[in-house]
Structures are given as structure tokens and as C-alpha cells.
Amino acid sequence: MQHTLSMKLTSGLGEMGEMDEKIRLSHGDGGVETQRLIKNVFYQHFNDPLSKSMPDSFVFEARQNQLAYTTDSFVVKPIFFRGGDIGKLAICGTINDLATAGATPLFLSASFIIEEGFSIEKLHLIVKSMSDICRQTGAKIATGDTKVVERGSADGLFINTSGIGIVSEYYKPSQVEPGDEIIVTGGIGEHGASILLDRYDLGIETDLESDCAPMCFLINGLGENLKHVKLMKDPTRGGIATALNEIAAEQKLDLELDERTIPVKSEVQAIGDMLGIDPLYLACEGRMLIVVEKGCGEKVLHHIKALDCCREARIIGQFTSGHHGMIYMKTLIGGRRIIPILEGQMLPRIC
């Protein structure tokens, strides 16, 4: 599978005809070469008048609505993985953080820390996938920055993005109560499993791809039904187990999952079994956990499943009356076990 990827890259290089061009320290010194890099790479893809005037700060009119503001840094290894790359991840990650607040993205910033010697052609591919997601979602890159560090001071490329979004008037997060239902918007662990496949040559042939995708469509898709939503969280590092443990601890409520209802692709399960990793702990980058008020689960689920990105959405459990902040799971054979917080390091640098 890594072969397919490198072939894609190579053919990309061929088309652009600049086989050997690498990032040099001078690309980051603020001089002529920096300007050239910004013009030839970033402006070419972020084809937006906003980002071309190059002010030190971007100025915009604040509207009446509530605004959400977030930031995230991305250091994924490998930089290109099945179903995406660090650029796609950096835009989706920030858009998804905004979505957890019920917000659709307005403006994003994008800052690059590039290791000397990084391929400019790879940078093109990465910046292009960032701009593709911006086009799909209507998010605009309003400002950015580029730094180049000496060889060995960074691992290829790190990206930071921040974002400002408009919060839906219908979304009013509130206290979670026993009986409230939990929805996951699609199959779990596909990003984490994909990274594992690309990181360690496991010799598995599969079409599995990262689920990396922008979740802002959920906000408009739910529209007025957001009023039934009490809380949203994107289950990235540590997967749904970690995200749900955080929610349970914060809300001081127990919750019970039903193993039969949790959507896990058989490939993800198989990779997890091979490496001894439970898919519940594998990262998602295009999924949302949604806590819905008691009795409204099916109704909200119906609207979620109508969205292209959420066809596999399921109700996976509900909060119970216990106050230990623990997660239990009803197992396939009717047994019961806890879903603990992850101990120790499972996977380095997956996002």
C-alpha cells in the first residue's frame, strides 16, 4: 500500500516537473524566497482574495451571532496516509473542533513549520488538499505564517491551524442527565487503523481509508434539531473510549454502551486484533459523538443519517443513574465490562 502512495507522489512530481526542489532555510527568512514560496505554493492553492493582501492581521466585521474560536497543531506521521495527509487533517481538525461548539467555519489561519530539505512538491500536494476542504466547506484561509527550521529540528512538516466559526442559534449545550442518548456518526477507529497500517508494514491489503473529513455539514444538516443536542465531542486521540470517559468524568455520570450497536468495520477490528488494540481507542478524524436528550435519539439519528458523511450513524448507548463517571459496556454475549481510560502510550503522533 505504501507503494501506491509513493507512486502517486512520484507521478505528481512528474507533472509539476520540479523533481528536486527542496525547502531551504532561506525560504523562511522573510526575504525574496519566502515571498516566492508564499506566492507559488500557498496563494496558488488558497485561491482567495482574502489571503492575498498579506496584512499582518486580517480584519473582519463581527456579526450578531455567537462566535467560536479554536486552534490545533498537527504533527502526524506519516505525513501522507491512506485517505488523507497532514493538510487535510489540519483543516478538518479545526473545522471539527468548531463543529463541537455547534459552529460552522468562517475564517481559518494556517501556519507551517517546515524542516529544511522538505520537498516543495509534497508541500504543493498538502496545501492543495487543504484548499480542497476549504472549498467544500466554505471556510476561508484568512491569515498564515511560514517558518523553516534546520534539518533535524522538526520532522518534515508541522501545521497549526486556528479557526473562527458562527455558532448555530439552535445549539444550546446543557447538563447531561440519566437517560440521555449517545450517537456516533459513523464507523469508529478508521483513522487510527489507517495510520497503523501505513506506519507499520503489516502486509495487509485493504481499501480501508482514514475517515478524515469535515463535520461542519452536521450543523446545518441538524438545523433546528440541534436543540435536542446537549453536547458534542469529536473522538480524536484515544478514540471514542477516551472521549466518552472525558464526558462521563466531567458530567459525573455513568454511561452504558451496547457492544452490538457500535459500528466497527471488519478491517478495523482485524487490525486492532492483530496489534492488540481495541478499536474503541483508535482515533477518528471525521466522526462526532453526540449526546441527545432522552427520548429524542431516534429522531435526531434520522436527520444525521440523511447526511452523506453520517450514513453509518448509530445510537450506541445512554447515560445511567450512577455517579462514578464510569463507562460500562454490555458485551456481545450479555456480559458486562468497564471501558477504562487508556493507560500508557498507545500510538505516537496520529494527528
Partner 1 sequence: MNDNKIIERLNRSFEYLSGQSIRIMEVCGTHTRAILKSGIRYILPKEVLLLSGPGCPVCVTPESYIDIAISISDIKDVILVTFGDMMRVKGTYNSLSDKKAQGSKITVVYSPEDVLNIAVNNRDKLVVFAAAGFETTAPLIAVTVKLARSRGLDNLFFLTALKRIEPVIRFILQDERNKINAMICPGHVASIIGAEHFRFITEEFGIPAVVCGFESQDIAAGICLLLEQLTGKRRVEFMNLYKRCVSSTGNAIAQRMIYEVFDTADGDWRGIGTIRNSALVLNDKYEQLDAAKRFEIKTEQYSSAVNCLCSEILLGLKLPKECSLFGSVCTPEHPTGPCMVSAEGACAAYFKYETYFRFGGDGRNG
Q: Which residues of this protein are in contact with partner 1, per CB under 8 A? A: 200, 202, 276, 278, 324, 326, 328-338, 340, 343-344
Q: How far is the CB of 10 from partner 1 (least distance, A)?
A: 23
Which lies closer to partner 1 via its Cβ, residue 176 or residue 329?
Answer: 329
Q: How far is the CB of 287 from partner 1 (least distance, A)?
A: 22
CB atoms within 10 A of CB 36: 12
What is the dihedral sign for C-alpha 197, 198, 202, 206? positive
Q: How far is the CB of 183 from partner 1 (least distance, A)?
A: 23
Cell of 174: 446543557
Total count of residues recorded for the chain = 351
Which lies closer to partner 1 via its Cβ, residue 172 or residue 324?
Answer: 324
Contacts of 254 (CB under 8 A, 6+ apart): 248, 319, 320, 321, 322, 323, 324, 325, 326, 327, 328
Q: How far is the CB of 297 from partner 1 (least distance, A)?
A: 23
Which lies closer to partner 1 via its Cβ, residue 61 or residue 201?
Answer: 201
Which lies closer to partner 1 via its Cβ, residue 155 or residue 224?
Answer: 155
Cell of 55: 496584512
Which lies closer to partner 1 via its Cβ, residue 49 or residue 348?
Answer: 348
Closest CA to 90 of 106, 114, 101, 74: 74
Which lies closer to partner 1 via its Cβ, residue 1 or residue 25?
Answer: 1
d(CA 291, CA 231): 5
d(CA 334, CA 205): 33
Q: How far is the CB of 319 from partner 1 (least distance, A)?
A: 15
Q: How far is the CB of 137 from partner 1 (least distance, A)?
A: 37
